[in-house]
């Protein structure tokens, strides 16, 4: 089924060169917008980022499905003029460069707004507009630490382990890209109703702060005190990851209901009688947590992760399998949802692309075309803009 996407008829110009901006535009392209990716001579930096297969970047292949590619040197007057002509017929511009870069190329907020008042102009930067220049060159590891996530993620991090970036090296970019795409869509709706564009300023660090509401709420409510302890932001209790017979499971346990259900699941072994029924609520001391984990580790080590987590969830125990990347394409729910889409890539052949986390009945999100070769749409696009 090759139906038009929900955003068919909209044209987006992307001059972004980092994952945050490219992911923003990818979300819009996957929804059906025509996204014209403007690349520097030699190609976008993400073309040179691993992992690689057959000499091609898998990261670039993921971030740039359903886009077109043109090559422009925005430091040259003639190429900069081509960009202006593209913007004349566009509805939105997606960028993620620092302010000084934009100013030098006449792409600042004020300059763009004056020249294209009917354009939605979205810029994603580490600390937002107005930040000092040295803070605008931050990388994802700086952003994820500045926002507090790396310090306490994953939960129950041992104090002797270094800060991590959570789920992948570009987590902060993807989170910011989601918010940037949402704001762009809302602005495009306003543009349709009023004919007026606007500037959207997304701060990646503020996105991180926006996501830690549970942590901040607990502090504001007085349930937790801000401190330098690695576990200060954890939910408490004995839950953590445990090794099982064929991988790992993650257990979360904070109430007597959780405890009673787990005891029944395990067959109420003798060691469980050493704990009060309400120990998770009123006697969850470090010694008790350590004693629980030591006993539980022996039992869970004999279980297989999928059967035991399914049985646990049916019993009311918050236990989930820790899936690896290899597990995900074989997961029956993802297969049922058709989350992974098979499509052809010129260098990779037939591959399974991660799809969208939502399903739209009339305008399904599809991988309509793989990431473009450098300048693949130069003649068609530049000619149309002349």
**pLDDT value at position 110?**
97
Q: Is the pLDDT of residue 153 over 70?
A: no
Tell me, yes or no, whether 201 and 246 share the same domain. no
For residue 178, the enclosing domain spans: 11-210+358-385
Q: Domain with 248 in it: what CATH number?
A: 3.30.1540.10
Q: Report which DSSP code applies to 277.
A: T
Residue with tokens 């058709």: 338
Contacts of residue 203, defined as CB under 8 A and 6 or more positions apart, other chains included, come to 125, 126, 127, 128, 176
Tell me, yes or no, whether 47 and 194 share the same domain. yes
Hey, is 382 helix, strand or coil? Answer: helix
Tell me, yes or no, whether 135 and 205 share the same domain. yes
Segment 370-381 mean pLDDT: 94
Is residue 342, in this structure, part of any structural domain at all?
no
Length of the chain in terms of residues written: 386
Tell me, yes or no, whether 105 and 154 share the same domain. yes
Q: Are strands 92-95 and 67-71 parallel, antiparallel or unpaired?
A: unpaired
Dihedral of CA 292/293/296/298: which sign? negative
Segment 315-341 mean pLDDT: 93
**pLDDT value at position 211?**
82
Contact 337, 329 (CB under 8 A): no
Is residue 336, in this structure, part of any structural domain at all?
no
* Residues of the chain above pLDDT 70, percent: 91
pLDDT band at 137 (very low <50, low <70, confident <90, very high): confident
Q: What is the mean pLDDT of the chain?
A: 91
Query: How confident is the model over 208-256, as pLDDT tens digits?
Result: 888 876 666 777 777 777 776 666 656 567 888 899 999 999 999 989 9
pTM of the predicted model, to two decimals? 0.90
Largest CA distance in the chain: 81
N-term to C-term CA, the chain: 34
Residue with tokens 């952003």: 143
Contact 63, 371 (CB under 8 A): yes
13 bridge partner residues: 36, 93
**pLDDT value at position 155?**
60
Q: Is the pLDDT of residue 383 over 90?
A: no
Which residue, 328, 349, 368, sits at the end of a domain?
Answer: 328
Which residue, 328, 346, 368, sits at the end of a domain?
Answer: 328
Tell me, yes or no, whether 168 and 35 share the same domain. yes
**pLDDT value at position 145?**
85
Count of beta carbons in the 10 Å neighbourhood of residue 328: 13
Tell me, yes or no, whether 173 and 269 share the same domain. no
CA atoms of 17 and 229, how far apart (whole Å)? 36
**Tokens coding 169:** 């090296």
Count of beta carbons in the 10 Å neighbourhood of residue 207: 23
Query: How confident is the model over 115-135, as pLDDT tens digits?
Result: 999 999 999 999 999 999 888
**pLDDT value at position 116?**
98
Q: How many domains, the chain? A: 2
In terms of C-beta density within 10 A (0-12 exposed, 13-18 middle, 19 or more buried), how is residue 200 classed?
Answer: buried
């Amino acid at each position: 089924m090759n139906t038009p996407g929900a955003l068919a008829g909209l044209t987006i110009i992307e001059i972004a060169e980092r994952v945050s901006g490219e992911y923003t535009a990818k979300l819009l392209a996957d929804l059906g917008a025509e996204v014209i990716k403007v690349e520097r001579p030699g190609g976008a930096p993400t073309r040179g980022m691993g992992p690689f297969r057959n000499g091609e970047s898998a990261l670039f292949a993921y971030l740039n499905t359903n886009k077109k590619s043109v090559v422009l040197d925005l430091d040259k007057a003639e190429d900069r003029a081509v960009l202006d002509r593209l913007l004349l017929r566009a509805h939105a511009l997606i960028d993620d460069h620092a302010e000084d870069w934009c100013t030098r190329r006449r792409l600042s907020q004020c300059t763009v707004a004056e020249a294209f008042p009917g354009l939605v102009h979205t810029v994603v930067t580490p600390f937002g507009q107005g930040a000092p220049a040295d803070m605008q060159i931050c990388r994802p590891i700086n952003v994820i630490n500045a926002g507090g996530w790396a310090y306490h993620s994953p939960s129950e991090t041992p104090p002797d382990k270094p800060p991590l970036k959570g789920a992948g090296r570009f987590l902060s970019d993807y989170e910011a890209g989601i918010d940037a795409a949402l704001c762009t869509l809302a602005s495009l709706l306003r543009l349709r109703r009023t004919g007026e564009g606007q500037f959207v300023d997304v701060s990646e660090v503020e996105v991180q702060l926006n996501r830690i509401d549970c942590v901040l709420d607990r502090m504001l409510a007085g349930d937790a005190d801000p401190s330098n302890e690695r576990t200060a932001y954890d939910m408490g209790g004995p839950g953590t990851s445990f090794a099982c017979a064929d991988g790992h499971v993650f257990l979360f346990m904070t109430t007597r209901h959780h405890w009673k259900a787990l005891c029944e699941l395990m067959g109420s072994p003798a060691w469980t009688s050493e704990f009060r029924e309400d120990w998770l609520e009123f006697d969850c001391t470090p010694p008790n947590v350590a004693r629980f984990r030591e006993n539980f580790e022996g039992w869970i080590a004999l279980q297989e992760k999928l059967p035991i987590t399914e049985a646990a969830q049916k019993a009311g125990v918050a236990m989930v399998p820790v899936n690896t990347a290899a597990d995900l394409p074989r997961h029956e729910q993802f297969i049922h949802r058709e989350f992974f889409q098979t499509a052809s890539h010129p260098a990779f052949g037939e591959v399974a692309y991660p799809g969208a986390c939502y399903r739209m009945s009339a305008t399904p999100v599809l991988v309509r075309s793989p990431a473009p070769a450098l300048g693949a749409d130069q003649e068609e696009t530049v000619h149309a803009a002349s």
